[in-house]
Amino acid sequence: MPRRFPWALHPPVRAPVVFGAETLRRMVPVLDALADRVRRYRREQWYRDEVGDRDAESTPVEEFRR
């Protein structure tokens, strides 16, 4: 296991940065739209990496069981 001392400080040091960035994103509509586009692009990239060029398909359950 790695030593805990330097990593124990990571969340408290990072929290104000994340809070500030999220507050700014919510207050500035352009930043919110940009963040949305980036998240959509990354999600679509992940989906293409996992599934490839196939379309998503779903088959309904024919019989429900308890």
pLDDT of residue 61: 81
| DSSP secondary structure letters along 13-62 | HHHHHHHHHHHHHHH-HHHHHHHHHHHHHHHHHHHHHHHTTPPP-----S
pLDDT of residue 42: 97
31: Cβ–Cβ under 8 A, 6 or more apart, which residues?
24, 25
Mean pLDDT by 10 residues, the chain (66 residues): 88 96 96 96 93 82 78
Q: Rounded to two decimals, what is the model's pTM?
A: 0.62
pLDDT of residue 2: 80
Can you read off the two tokens belonging to residue 61? Answer: 């359950």
pLDDT of residue 34: 96
- How many Å apart are CA 49 and CA 41, to the nearest integer? 12
